[in-house]
């Protein structure tokens, strides 16, 4: 079988042998009755890591974000977020389709970061019955579309203080909060402390095959449990996959630093190649976004695949490479050579 260097996403990781053994050995029960001991332990452990009262295991990051937004809002409400936020760009219009809410978009800087000063003018006055009601401020950390960039903790704190002033909820799309934590040394619990709800993935850099966690107050999780069931997310003997998530949280967080090192090496290599445009300042974690001066994205992707290299796309005209546990530093060097070879052909 032909071996590809797959840099399309950190979602392509395969479970390790140790993770597969944990899945095989998992004790299971009916999770809809809350009788699956492995799922229960995953939720307890995740809530502890995130510094929240309770947590809930859900099938995907999209479902996690959307359950949180649904519980925090009513139809006709509005959520403030960055214009390239995952909940706007990559969740199939779900805020409107599932919860009847609209998004108010902020133009962040090149790292996808917006400030409290930008948010405040967008908050609807409570007396304006003819307007949508502002209910939630959403922050994505790390910011996928901006290139895995980290939102500074002081900026998050400032926006949180604004939310309290106006009695608004805060939601963290922390799909890659583990990456932010490892890179900065700030714990997931400290990041989460500024938010009412948080959603975070187990199936990206942590290497689990499926699943995300949402966390918040016990009251929030009780309602989230109901919404998960209503949306078809009530799984049964889920401990088989919950075991993978539990293994990932206990064993794979700190190793994310290796992925960041691989991304920075790849970015440096690309910066040395003629006809590549890249902003090294944006490469903070495990995502590398770049563009080409002399070839279309579609043509380049086809040629890269012919050379056994798989890459993804970001914004229009941009290419994306995401490092993860299933690529080595040797793979990174080989990928760099393939890209240079194609551009020099």
Please, is 30 exposed, middle or buried when counting C-beta atoms within 10 Å of its C-beta (0-12, 13-18, 19+)?
Answer: middle
Residues 105, 81 contacting (CB under 8 angstroms): yes
pLDDT attached to residue 42:
98
Res. 146: pLDDT tops 70: yes
Give me 148's structure tokens: 């895995």
User: Region 157-173: what's the mean pLDDT?
Assistant: 98
pLDDT attached to residue 291:
96
Sheet holding 54-58, edge to edge: 54-58, 212-216, 197-201, 169-173, 133-140, 77-82, 102-106
Give me 264's structure tokens: 């920075």
Residues 286, 179 contacting (CB under 8 angstroms): yes
Helix, strand or coil, per DSSP, at residue 319? strand
Give the whole-angstrom CA distance, residue 163 versus residue 120.
9
User: Region 49-66: what's the mean pLDDT?
Assistant: 98
Res. 218: pLDDT tops 80: yes
**pLDDT, tens digit, 9 for 90 and up, residues 265-320:** 999 999 999 999 999 999 999 999 999 998 999 999 999 999 999 999 988 899 99
**pLDDT, tens digit, 9 for 90 and up, residues 230-249:** 999 999 999 999 999 999 99
pLDDT attached to residue 294:
87
Give the whole-angstrom CA distance, residue 74 versus residue 67.
12
pLDDT attached to residue 133:
98
pLDDT attached to residue 316:
87
Measured CA distances, 318 to 109, 129, 139, 143, 148 (Å): 17, 42, 23, 16, 14
pLDDT band at 164 (very low <50, low <70, confident <90, very high): very high
pLDDT attached to residue 1:
66
Res. 9: pLDDT tops 70: yes
User: Region 194-198: what's the mean pLDDT?
Assistant: 98
Instruction: List the domains of the chain with CATH numbers.
Output: 17-251 (3.40.640.10), 255-344 (3.90.1150.10)
pLDDT band at 162 (very low <50, low <70, confident <90, very high): very high
Query: For the residues of 112-167, what is the DSSP string, one character each?
Result: S---HHHHGGGSPPTT-TTSPEEEEEEEESSBTTTTSBPPPHHHHHHHHHHHHHTT
Res. 150: pLDDT tops 90: yes
Pairing of strands 212-216, 287-292: unpaired
Please, is 271 exposed, middle or buried when counting C-beta atoms within 10 Å of its C-beta (0-12, 13-18, 19+)?
Answer: middle
Res. 75: pLDDT tops 90: yes
pLDDT attached to residue 314:
81
Half-sphere exposure of 120 (CA within 13 A, CB side): 10
User: Region 68-76: what's the mean pLDDT?
Assistant: 98
pLDDT band at 103 (very low <50, low <70, confident <90, very high): very high
User: Region 90-113: what's the mean pLDDT?
Assistant: 98
Residue with token string 């409290």: 116
């Amino acid at each position: 079988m032909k071996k590809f260097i797959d840099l399309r996403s950190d979602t392509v990781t395969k479970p390790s042998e140790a993770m597969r053994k944990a899945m095989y050995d998992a004790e299971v029960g009916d999770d809809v009755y809350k009788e699956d001991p492995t799922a229960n332990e995953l939720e307890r452990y995740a809530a502890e890591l995130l510094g929240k009262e309770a947590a809930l295991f859900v099938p995907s990051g999209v479902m996690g974000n959307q359950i949180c937004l649904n519980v925090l809002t009513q139809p006709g409400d509005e959520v403030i977020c960055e214009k390239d936020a995952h909940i706007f760009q990559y969740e199939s219009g779900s805020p409107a389709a599932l919860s009847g809410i609209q998004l108010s978009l902020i133009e962040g800087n090149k790292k996808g970061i917006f400030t409290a000063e930008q948010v405040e003018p967008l908050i609807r006055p409570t007396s304006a019955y003819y307007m949508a009601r502002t209910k939630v401020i959403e922050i994505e950390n790390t910011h996928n579309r901006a290139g895995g960039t980290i939102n500074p903790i002081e900026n998050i704190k400032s926006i949180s203080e604004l939310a309290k002033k106006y009695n608004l909820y805060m939601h963290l799309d922390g799909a890659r909060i583990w990456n932010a934590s490892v890179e900065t040394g700030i714990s997931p619990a400290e990041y989460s402390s500024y938010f009412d709800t948080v959603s975070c993935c187990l199936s990206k850099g942590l290497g689990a095959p499926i699943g995300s966690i949402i966390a918040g107050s016990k009251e929030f999780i009780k309602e989230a449990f109901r919404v998960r069931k209503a949306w078809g997310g009530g799984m049964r003997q889920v401990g088989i996959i919950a075991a993978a998530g539990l293994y990932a949280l206990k064993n794979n967080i700190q190793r994310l630093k290796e992925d960041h090192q691989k991304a920075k090496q790849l970015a440096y290599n690309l910066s040395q190649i003629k006809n590549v445009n890249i902003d090294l300042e944006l490469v903070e974690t495990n995502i590398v976004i770049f563009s080409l001066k002399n070839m279309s994205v579609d043509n380049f992707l086809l040629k890269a695949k012919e050379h056994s290299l798989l890459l993804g796309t970001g914004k229009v005209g941009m290419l994306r490479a995401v490092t993860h546990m299933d690529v080595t530093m040797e793979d990174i060097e080989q990928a760099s050579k393939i890209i240079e070879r194609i551009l020099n052909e």
